[in-house]
Amino acid sequence: MSEFAGPSPRVEWHALNLESVQARVGAVAEGLSDEEVAKRLHRFGPNELKDSEPVNPWAILASQFGSLIVWILIAAGIVSGLFGEWIDALAIAAIVVLNALIGFYQEFSAEKSMAALKRMTAPHARVRRNGTVRDVLAREIVPGDVLVLEAGDLVPADARLTKAASLKCVEAALTGESDAVGKHAGDLDREEVPLGDRKNMVFMGTSVATGSAEALAVATGMATEMGHIAGLIQKAGRDDGTPLQRRLQAFGKLLVWASLGVVGLVFVLGLARGMEVFELFLTAVSLAVAAVPEGLPAVVTISLAVGVQRMARRRALMRRLPTVETLGSTSVICTDKTGTLTVGEMTVRALYACDREWEVTGEGYGPDGAISPRTPGEAEPGATGLSDLMLILAGCNSAHLAQEDGRWKAIGDPTEGALLAVAAKARVLPATLDTEWPRAREFPFDSDRKMMTAIRKTPQGGFRALVKGAPDVLLARCTRVLTPKGVKPLTDRDRERISALNAAWAGRALRVLGAAMKEGVQDPDAPSMEEIESDLVFVGLAGMYDPPRPEAKDAVARCRSAGIRVVMITGDHPRTALAVARELGLAESDGKALTGLELDRLSDAELSGQVDRVAVFARVTAEHKLRIVRAWKTRHAIVAMTGDGVNDAPAIKGADVGIAMGKAGTEVTKEASDMIVADDNFASIVAAVEEGRGIFDNIKKTLQYLLAGNAGELLLMTACVVCGLPMALLPIHLLWINLVTDGLPALCLATDPIDPDVMKRGPRKAGTAIADRGFLILMGATGFLTAAVAFGVYVYGLRFETLEMARTHAFAALVFAELLRSFGCRSETKTLFQVGTFTNLRLAFVVGVAFLFQVWSHHNPVLGGFLKTGMMSWSDCLMLAAVSAIPISILEIAKLSRQFGSVK
């Protein structure tokens, strides 16, 4: 045996002839010796996927303190403590810790993608070594091992087939193709072959549906296609933060400079007025602390957490908290076809028998659905011809259906499962069939002859051959045809009509199978296969495909109205992908699909330039999907990627939002995702986008409410410094307003119901800041109005009352104005009456309680002493409340003015 140097991870093994493959891996017919296996195992390592480094829980906790806003709060708390303001310091510390704990609880989950991939690989395998077949641990398989495969086996390594008998493999998780793929041991005539068309190869993690085979292991562990995907998952991790995190980071920087600006301005003005430096420093620091919205991190975290709960009720389960809002920024949804836009299960849609066409309803492998004539008034499903067709579809079949957790599944070939399902709709059941028509002999499907035959004993005691296969091959073996008037000779006109129908169905992306039979078989064991499968009677056709989900078309339409681009990325054939895309409204009638081979000829820059003009990508691999996602991201799109197969996992990991299907999704895909759709419903993704947009709106309106209030406080205090007046507010007043008066309504705004029109506008651009020009103008105007009212009340109090009462009036006016303004903050365009005062009952309750509490503080000596306020009469409280309504009244009138202006 020659010295084996080891295979390259990306060798195109399918393109080599068998002799070359055997020479390159150093294989022998009797299998490797134990000594050679040990050498190769030591040299190339075990046949398993490498783990990614586990995430440290302490690292997750530390990441909760990575926000600039949090560090501003920590700095404010430290400064407050240094100057003896312990209540402020403790309150800020409590907010920071609570925010970190909530975020840690939501995000604490280990990265399990590699472990999930391991669970998909076979734990044991059968190989030929030293001339005998033995069972070994899959991790001990090495390149050059001869694998022995049978129906039901998981393939333990990538391997080149050397023998294959009626072999079909289910590769949906790896390639996205829902149908079982026929395999053979022959050579392929070209090198550039998509992964799904490499018929002489089997791949790690896929399963054998039917048949048996021997194969030569050519790649193990991380050198396999599954290993390549595992490597892509590790490299595809997102490290640039979510849009919300980036916006808050940018806002934090703005807040730092604004705070320094306030401190510097007040310090300079104070010096100009001759204030003591130490007193001036304390005042400036107090104002800087007041500029920081202490409740912001908690409000953002709670808003996201509440959004998670809302999404869960809409069947969308979030795994990473900040990604909740990212959904609202999504401008492109790259979605897998199989199992996401489609049911993920082959379903018979059309039947032909006795010159009649029939339509079939229902999805999946369940018996729900009906068979009805395409032309009304024709025969019902029990008619002659259709019953014979159902007998062939169910009787010439090696699969069976099983119900698990209320869901029907096909055990065996998915195509044969679909045939059993349509037969069940016609009340032809395998159990009854096996009793009344017992199986006598079978010729399994063979990729060379493209047919399968089962001989069954009839209830009358004779034998009938039931045959199914490719329509063109089957027609060539038929000499007669079943008609409404019985069996008659098959004419050229009959052949043309059947061939035309077969072509028409294929044009609709249906996979078409023909059915035929042979009566009067005397001895099922005597005739040869060639004799049985000749001189047949043509019975009919069955057309099937993986149908779109019923709700997917409406969900795609909603995405379009919301300005979201939906792109199909699938490993399936272009014709099938385009047919589904057209049915869902994703592609025009003349639209074309870009294939994986065409993608390989494009550079990343060329792909980025073309990606927005392509709605369907077909015959693509996991690596292609990741390239497409990255191409969209280079165009500054916020990309969501959905899917359920292993081949979707790298792109899901690399997208801004990774979405996995909960029922059909593999564990690999779920662990790589940010969100799991529990009901596998594409419409649930759209609902989650709606929630994400609503969450951003709530965060923005909450931020506006908090910052406008802080701006009012700063303007009021700055005005006092400029005018040489005593400070209108004491530190306890600032803390009370920021944490209680502003904080509690802010929490209610953070959980505000979603605007019904949120999906009628386009997505936000990736670089759009939270504090844009409009935001800052509104914040400044609101702060000015609030400060003006409080300053007027304060000056009036200084003129006619004591300093304590003047501060009491200013404090009360500021509190009342803030509480009333919370109702107006619910919408930037609609008035509070248009939104509805009681559509947020929590806010109405909190504002009512806070109002009563504030009034009570002016009539209770203990509470008044804590807040350092004086006693006021009920009439004074009422008068202050009326004056405090001025800011919200002006802001609401401005909204009405804009509405009338837009109408004109």
Cβ atoms of residues 103 and 298 within 8 Å: no
DSSP-assigned letters across all residues of 787-831:
HHHHHHHHHHHHHHS-HHHHHHHHHHHHHHHHHHHHHHTT-SSS-
What's the rounded Cα separation, in Å, for the pair 74 and 89?
9
Question: In sequence order, which ranges of 614-681 are alpha helices (DSSP H)?
Answer: 622-634, 649-654, 667-672
CB neighbours (10 Å) of residue 833? 10
Question: In sequence order, which ranges of 611-730 are alpha helices (DSSP H)?
Answer: 622-634, 649-654, 667-672, 682-723
Total residue count of the chain as it appears in this document: 904
Strand extents, DSSP E, 327-399: 332-335, 347-353, 356-360, 371-373
- Tokens representing 348 are 């018979």
- Tokens representing 252 are 């934090």
What's the rounded Cα separation, in Å, for the pair 468 and 389?
10
What's the rounded Cα separation, in Å, for the pair 452 and 471?
12
Cβ atoms of residues 406 and 529 within 8 Å: no
**Helix, strand or coil, per DSSP, at residue 164:** strand
- Tokens representing 309 are 């709960």
CB neighbours (10 Å) of residue 336? 29
Cβ atoms of residues 332 and 637 within 8 Å: yes
Using DSSP bridges, classify how beta strands 478-483 and 594-595 pair: parallel, antiparallel or unpaired.
unpaired
Residue 567 neighbours by CB under 8 Å, 6+ apart: 332, 333, 334, 335, 586, 614, 615, 616, 617, 628, 632
Give 191-197 contacts, CB < 8 A, sequence gap 24+.
191/12, 191/15, 192/597, 192/600, 193/14, 193/15, 194/571, 194/595, 194/596, 194/597, 194/619, 194/620, 194/621, 195/225, 195/571, 195/596, 195/621, 196/171, 196/571, 196/572, 196/619, 197/619
Q: 759: closest CA among 565, 559, 566, 586?
A: 559
Give the DSSP H or E segment for 132: strand 132-137
Q: How far is CA 36 from CA 141, 445, 492, 803, 843, in A?
A: 12, 37, 61, 95, 75
Give the DSSP H or E segment for 658: strand 657-661
Confirm whether 240 is a catalytic residue. Answer: no
What's the rounded Cα separation, in Å, for the pair 614 and 592?
8
Residue 285, judged by CB atoms within 10 A of its CB (0-12, 13-18, 19+), counts as: buried
Determine the residue type at 572: D
What's the rounded Cα separation, in Å, for the pair 471 and 696?
56
Q: How far is CA 534 from CA 10, 451, 516, 517, in A?
A: 45, 12, 10, 10
Q: 12: closest CA among 172, 198, 183, 151?
A: 198
**Active-site hit among 88, 153, 336, 572:** 336
Give the DSSP H or E segment for 556: helix 552-561
Cβ atoms of residues 74 and 96 within 8 Å: yes
Give the catalytic positions in this structure: 336
